[in-house]
């Protein structure tokens, strides 16, 4: 049920926020960090947040977005 729900970007799963709302919140944070390019940031996140961050930097299809994940303790670098 959860795997199906995470593909429905505008629908909330249970009492949580939708993927669309989550993306808005993370994109706003990344926009703020982008304005301060003289600093380096380390973001620690689970796969739900990691896929949003990745979609900020790279075009992804709905299927790629839903399937995206990083390995446990992986370090991924993104540059503005």
What local confidence, expressed as pLDDT, does residue 27 receive? 97
Buried b (16+ CB within 10 A) or exposed e, 14-49: eeeebbeebbeebeebbeeeeeeeeeeeeeeeeeeb
DSSP 48: H
State the pLDDT at residue 2.
66
pLDDT at 66: 83
pLDDT at residue 6 in the model = 64
Please spell the DSSP secondary structure of 15-47, one letter per residue. TS--HHHHHHHHHHHHHHHHTTTTS-------H
pTM for this structure? 0.83
pLDDT in tens, the chain (80 residues): 767 766 777 788 778 888 889 999 999 999 999 999 889 999 999 998 999 999 999 999 988 988 899 999 999 999 99
State residue 61's pLDDT score: 92
Tokens 């075009």 sit on residue: 59
């Amino acid at each position: 049920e959860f795997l199906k729900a995470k593909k429905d970007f505008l629908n909330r799963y249970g009492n949580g926020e939708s993927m669309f709302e989550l993306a808005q919140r993370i994109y706003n944070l990344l926009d703020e960090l982008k304005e301060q390019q003289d600093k380096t940031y380390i973001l620690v996140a689970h796969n739900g947040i990691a896929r949003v961050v990745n979609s900020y930097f790279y075009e992804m299809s709905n299927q790629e977005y839903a399937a995206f994940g990083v390995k446990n303790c992986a370090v991924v670098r993104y540059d503005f």
